[in-house]
């Protein structure tokens, strides 16, 4: 377990050195990881976790220390919404109106959500196309219980590390950050949009440079998934 602590310390150092002027939080993506490993990350000071399956989460996270935030970062089916709002402190993968409808209807109080954006417009990925995000948020007042706290960006994986490929991904990150800033500057009361969740193990340093306020790291902390 000590290697988990060391990896976290190293990542936090990188975050600190790349973003001296802004805060950026580390989200530990604990899908496919044992409770023992999750606890090691908590002991190392991580208080934000991401999971992508409602069922796996309900079994693993029977008790969540109150200072720990657990957010959904995987595709959410509408028939799992009810369980999801019991397990998670927020859902970062709002990608369609029908999901927002269902969620809003099942909630009693305000609830934190994020819009998931398919930044590279890939067929294989979930998320809204960048071109429709602004309009979606503009009309999101119709879901009075949803508070849109940010944007979660899904980016293409680098197929190789050629200069062209690297440039393309970094450009998509810049464009997503720009879209986030534009929407945030609208000042919609229902969409404070304080967070830009972008970057994973292989590309978080680029995401930080582009302006991410949350980076989502799984294997870089825990090693290979079980
Ligand atoms: C699994 C996952 C991550 C973490 O990926 P790693 O490569 O393990 O860092 C981040 N975001 C989402 C949406 C994921 O599903």
pLDDT of residue 129: 98
> How many C-beta atoms surround the C-beta of residue 44 within 10 A?
19
The model's confidence at residue 22, banded by pLDDT at 50, 70 and 90, is confident
Q: Is 216 in the pocket of ligand 1 (CB under 6 A)?
A: yes
Q: Is 29 in the pocket of ligand 1 (CB under 6 A)?
A: yes
Share of the chain above pLDDT 70, in %: 100
108 CA from centroid of ligand 1 (Å): 30
pLDDT of residue 41: 97
Q: Is 219 in the pocket of ligand 1 (CB under 6 A)?
A: yes
Least confident range from 45-59, 101-115, 126-140, 170-184: namely 45-59
Ligand 1 pocket test, candidate residues 56, 200, 214, most atoms within 8 A of CB: 200
Q: What is the pLDDT of residues 209-219, one digit of tens each?
A: 999 999 999 99
Outline where DSSP puts E strands in 23-88.
25-29, 48-51, 69-72
Q: Is 199 in the pocket of ligand 1 (CB under 6 A)?
A: no
pLDDT of residue 168: 95
**Domains along the sequence of the chain with CATH:** 2-222 (3.20.20.10)
Does residue 208 register a pLDDT over 90?
Answer: yes
Q: What is the pLDDT of residues 79-97, one digit of tens each?
A: 999 999 999 999 999 999 9
Q: Is 218 in the pocket of ligand 1 (CB under 6 A)?
A: yes
- The residue assigned the tokens 């369980």 is 83
Q: Is 126 in the pocket of ligand 1 (CB under 6 A)?
A: no
> Which of 13, 33, 17, 15 shows the shortest CA–CA distance to 25?
15
pLDDT of residue 136: 98
- Output 226 or 116, whichever has higher pLDDT: 116
> Which of 152, 96, 92, 76 shows the shortest CA–CA distance to 119?
152
Ligand 1 atom closest to Cα of 31? 1
> Which of 56, 58, 99 shows the shortest CA–CA distance to 81?
99
Q: What is the pLDDT of residues 24-38, one digit of tens each?
A: 999 999 999 999 999
> Which of 208, 216, 197, 190 shows the shortest CA–CA distance to 150?
197
As a 3-state breakdown, the chain gives helix, strand, coil percent values, each rounded to 5, of 45, 20, 35
pLDDT of residue 158: 78
What is the residue-averaged pLDDT of the chain? 95
**CB-CB contact of 145 with 112 (8 Å):** no
Ligand 1 atom closest to Cα of 217? 9
Give the mean model confidence (pLDDT) for residues 39-55. Answer: 96
């Amino acid at each position: 377990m000590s290697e988990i602590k060391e990896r976290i310390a190293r990542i936090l150092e990188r975050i600190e050195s790349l973003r001296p002027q802004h805060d950026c939080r580390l989200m530990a993506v604990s899908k496919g990881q044992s409770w023992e490993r999750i606890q090691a990350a908590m002991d190392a000071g991580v208080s934000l976790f991401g999971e992508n399956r409602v069922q796996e989460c309900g079994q693993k996270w029977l008790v969540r220390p109150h200072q720990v935030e657990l957010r959904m970062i995987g595709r959410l089916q509408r028939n799992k919404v009810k369980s999801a709002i019991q397990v998670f402190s927020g859902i970062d993968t709002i990608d369609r109106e029908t999901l927002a409808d269902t969620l809003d209807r099942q909630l009693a109080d305000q609830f934190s959500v994020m819009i998931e954006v398919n930044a590279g417009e890939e067929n294989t990925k979930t998320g809204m196309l960048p071109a429709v995000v602004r309009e979606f948020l503009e009309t999101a007042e119709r879901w009075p219980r949803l508070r849109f706290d940010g944007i979660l960006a899904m980016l293409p994986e680098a197929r190789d590390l050629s200069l062209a490929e690297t440039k393309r991904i970094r450009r998509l990150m810049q464009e997503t950050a720009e879209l986030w800033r534009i929407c945030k500057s609208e000042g919609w009361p229902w969409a404070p949009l304080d967070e830009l969740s972008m970057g994973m193990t292989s590309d978080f340093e680029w995401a930080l440079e582009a302006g991410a306020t949350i980076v989502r790291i799984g294997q870089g902390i825990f090693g290979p998934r079980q």
